[in-house]
């Protein structure tokens, strides 16, 4: 039986773990995320960040695969009634342009925080940040040359700025907080990373493969098995770092009302399984994504 929730009194934290693969999530020790829910398997709506997030905000979260229901027996968390009809198993329906407008109209404290370049507020063609009346981009204003991108500045990680995000929360007002986490995005480093020797050059080669989208024969990919495992291990460690920061965020949230906590990947990543690397193309490793969803009380 579905529990009826009082949406006027439930705050929301929505985190996207950019580029995180399902395999990474299943290998990582995600102690804090797994307090929210087990790791669920979902299908991504798109192969890269920009359209995936528009789909999220319009009501299309990744479709569940491994389980039929989210918590409380919901098949959907939120969906737009303007797009299609919905069953009673949808937790929240809205008839505004997107979920951000819905919570803004309710009078919530709505804020967004971005890390990857699609959320760069200095780029005039980036419209994702404009969906929010309050948005902060933590990433770099300009992308440095490929060989200078590792390690990334600690300040560019939204989840490394937990105190600033918590300070933006008004304890007397429900909130909707969106965070785009960059830790699991190429180059898969974190402020606490101990990087392998010559990792910057290795990542430079990987960036070139991302940009070229060249398909190689599976037995002739331009990285050794050891190098591929380095990338995968780095993403696992990046997710574990993000999980620790998420724990700090959860512990710092106001305790005067329940919080709906939702975390998922916008898309995955290919590490040569089909002869290519990166995302923005179809492959099962790109389309399978992890999800966590539940109430924090």
Q: Which pLDDT score, from 0 to 100, does residue 85 have?
A: 67
Number of domains the chain is built from: 1
d(CA 236, CA 183): 10
Q: Which pLDDT score, from 0 to 100, does residue 2 have?
A: 44
Please identify every stretch of the chain with a pLDDT value under 50, giving residue numbers as ranges: 1-2
Share of the chain above pLDDT 70, in %: 96
In a domain, 254, yes or no: yes
In a domain, 222, yes or no: yes
d(CA 199, CA 203): 6
Which DSSP state fits 126? -
Q: Which pLDDT score, from 0 to 100, does residue 231 have?
A: 97
In a domain, 1, yes or no: no
Q: Which pLDDT score, from 0 to 100, does residue 148 have?
A: 72
Question: Which residues lie across from 178 on neighbouring strands?
Answer: 14, 112
In a domain, 2, yes or no: no
In a domain, 76, yes or no: yes
11, 153, 187, 286 from 18: Cα distances, Å: 23, 17, 12, 11
| Cβ count within 10 A of residue 282 | 11
What CATH number is given to the structural domain containing 12?
A: 3.40.720
| Residue-range definition of the domain harbouring residue 126 | 7-296
Q: Is the bond into 206 cis (omega within 30 degrees of 0)? A: no
In a domain, 127, yes or no: yes
Q: How far is CA 193 from the centre of its chain?
A: 20
Q: Which residues contact 212 (CB under 8 A, 6 or more apart)?
A: none
Q: Which pLDDT score, from 0 to 100, does residue 3 have?
A: 55
């Amino acid at each position: 039986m579905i529990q009826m929730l009082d949406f006027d009194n439930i705050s929301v934290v929505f985190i996207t773990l950019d580029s995180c693969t399902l395999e990474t999530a299943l290998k990582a020790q995600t102690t804090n995320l797994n307090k929210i829910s087990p790791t669920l398997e979902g299908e991504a709506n798109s192969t890269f960040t920009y359209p995936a997030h528009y789909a999220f905000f319009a009501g299309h979260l990744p479709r569940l695969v491994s389980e039929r229901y989210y918590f409380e027996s919901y098949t959907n968390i939120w969906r737009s009634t303007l797009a299609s009809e919905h069953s009673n198993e949808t937790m929240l329906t809205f008839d505004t342009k997107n979920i951000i407008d819905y919570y803004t109209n309710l009078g919530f404290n709505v804020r967004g925080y971005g890390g990857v370049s699609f959320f760069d507020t200095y780029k005039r063609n980036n419209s994702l940040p404009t969906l929010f009346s309050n948005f902060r981009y933590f990433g770099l204003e300009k992308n440095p040359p490929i060989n200078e991108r590792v390690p990334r500045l600690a300040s560019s990680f939204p989840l490394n700025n937990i105190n600033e995000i918590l300070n933006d929360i008004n304890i007397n007002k429900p909130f909707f907080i969106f965070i785009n986490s960059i830790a699991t995005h190429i180059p898969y480093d974190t402020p606490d990373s101990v990087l392998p020797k010559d990792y910057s050059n290795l990542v430079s080669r990987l960036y070139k493969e991302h940009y070229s989208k060249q398909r190689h024969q599976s037995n002739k990919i331009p990285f050794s098995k050891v190098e591929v495992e380095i990338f995968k291990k780095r993403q696992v460690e990046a997710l574990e770092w993000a999980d620790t920061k998420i724990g700090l965020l959860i512990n710092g949230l106001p305790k005067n009302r329940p919080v709906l906590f939702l975390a998922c990947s916008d898309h995955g990543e290919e590490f040569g399984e089909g002869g290519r690397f990166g995302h923005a193309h179809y492959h099962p490793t790109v389309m399978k994504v992890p999800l966590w969803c539940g109430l924090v009380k």
